[in-house]
């Protein structure tokens, strides 16, 4: 029996590295959600080693796609065929699950996004990479402060009898307001629900301001697992929120689909380096180009001290070269 033809999607973010393997029918064979922990190269290697150990003998990687803030780094290490931004990857994945999706809510650990689609095309989008009060890290900190695990956060919110209004415009103000509410004697359940409502208000006020949110609405990203946040969105919008099966790795899923489409439509061969290259010593360094007044910072990736790829220039002098 021959090996299963598969496609690999890798989404490298500041908090998590998500890897997914799909077959020719776009079925998910394996997915991994790993903590990046400031070491994206190591997280990619650990993830691919896991895949190779568990299903490597049974599959043949025919295409690879990368996305996320570390997409260029991941592409250099694995040999990607497609490199796409997060907006495109999340939109493709959502449309695969819900073909007529019109709104995508995506909230991760360090950033959040809203994507509006009309007639299957991205019509508008916005990203928040500055305010922590609209991200998962905000909930992590508050859960720790009131002595509950983030996994239990949603269940506390569901048990609330009445929400406590907590300032959500800024993470610093939210924390001081939450402490004040604790000192006033409010229950943890009511405070947690208030925090969920605060995050949703922040998200809608910053990212969705002036935008028309229409159903179907798909909620993606790690925070989609929090039932308290899901219910807060449904209360605020008075619309149903759809949580896809692979909500936590939708960026990786979308870029895997794009890699499959690219290889099959162009009848191309993959650039995948293979699992055996994972044992090498990858290092990165930067230098400043003095070729013009831009003084671009050039990032270089090397394998066993041999340069592999560079990027960071505006003119193209160094990009894609060793």
Same domain for 235 and 310? no
Q: Which domain holds residue 292?
A: 280-322
Same domain for 16 and 149? no
Domain assignment of residue 157, yes or no: yes
Same domain for 271 and 286? no
Band (172; pLDDT cuts 50, 70, 90): low
Domain count, the chain: 3
Same domain for 58 and 173? no
- What CATH number should be reported for the domain holding residue 83? 3.30.420.40
Domain assignment of residue 274, yes or no: yes
Sign of the torsion angle spanned by Cα atoms 29, 261, 34, 285? positive
Same domain for 202 and 269? no
* Whether 191 contacts 182, CB under 8 Å: yes
Mean pLDDT of 205-214: 90
Domain assignment of residue 163, yes or no: yes
* Least reliable range by pLDDT among 103-112, 133-142, 261-270, 293-302: 133-142
Same domain for 17 and 109? no
Domain assignment of residue 94, yes or no: no
Return all residues near 273 (Cβ < 8 A) that are at least 6 apart.
77, 78, 79
Retrieve residue 139's tokens: 């909930």
Same domain for 138 and 70? no
Q: pTM higher than 0.75, yes or no?
A: yes
The pLDDT tens digits of the residues spanning 24-40 come to 999 999 999 988 877 88
Same domain for 120 and 230? yes
Closest CA to 235 of 207, 277, 204, 209: 204
Same domain for 32 and 62? yes
Same domain for 103 and 238? yes
Return all residues near 268 (Cβ < 8 A) that are at least 6 apart.
81, 262
* Whether 63 contacts 34, CB under 8 Å: no
The pLDDT tens digits of the residues spanning 46-73 come to 999 999 999 988 999 999 999 998 898 8
Mean pLDDT of 295-302: 81
pLDDT at 134: 60
Same domain for 55 and 128? no
Same domain for 239 and 293? no
Length of the chain equals 322
Domain assignment of residue 259, yes or no: yes
Domain assignment of residue 93, yes or no: no
């Amino acid at each position: 029996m021959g090996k299963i033809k598969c496609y690999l999607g890798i989404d490298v973010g500041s908090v998590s590295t998500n890897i997914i393997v799909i077959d020719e029918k776009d079925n998910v064979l394996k997915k991994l959600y790993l903590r990046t922990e400031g070491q994206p190269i190591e997280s990619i290697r650990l993830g691919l080693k896991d895949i190779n150990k568990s299903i490597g003998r049974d599959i043949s990687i025919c295409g690879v796609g990368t996305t996320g803030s570390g997409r260029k780094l991941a592409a250099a290490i694995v040999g990607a065929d497609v490199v796409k931004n997060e907006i495109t990857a999340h939109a493709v994945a959502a449309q695969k699950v819900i073909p007529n999706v019109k709104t995508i809510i995506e909230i991760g650990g360090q950033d959040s996004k809203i994507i509006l689609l009309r007639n299957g095309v991205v019509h508008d989008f916005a990203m928040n990479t500055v305010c922590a009060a609209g991200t998962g890290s905000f909930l992590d900190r508050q859960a720790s402060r009131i002595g509950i695990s983030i996994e239990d956060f949603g269940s506390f919110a569901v048990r609330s009898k009445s929400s406590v209004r907590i300032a959500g415009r800024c993470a610093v103000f939210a924390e001081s307001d939450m402490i004040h509410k604790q000192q006033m004697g409010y229950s943890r359940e009511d405070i947690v629900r208030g925090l969920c409502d605060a995050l949703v208000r922040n998200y809608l006020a910053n990212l969705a301001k002036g935008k028309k949110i229409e159903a179907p609405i798909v909620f993606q990203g790690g925070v989609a697992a929090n039932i308290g946040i899901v219910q807060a969105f449904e209360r605020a919008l008075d619309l149903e929120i759809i949580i896809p099966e692979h909500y936590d790795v939708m960026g990786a899923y979308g870029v895997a689909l794009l890699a499959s489409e690219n290889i099959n439509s162009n009848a191309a061969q993959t650039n995948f380096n293979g699992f055996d290259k994972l044992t090498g010593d990858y290092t990165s360094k930067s230098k400043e180009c003095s070729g013009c007044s831009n003084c671009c910072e050039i990032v270089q990736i090397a394998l066993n001290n041999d340069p592999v790829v560079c990027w960071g220039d505006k003119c193209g002098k160094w990009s894609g070269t060793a």
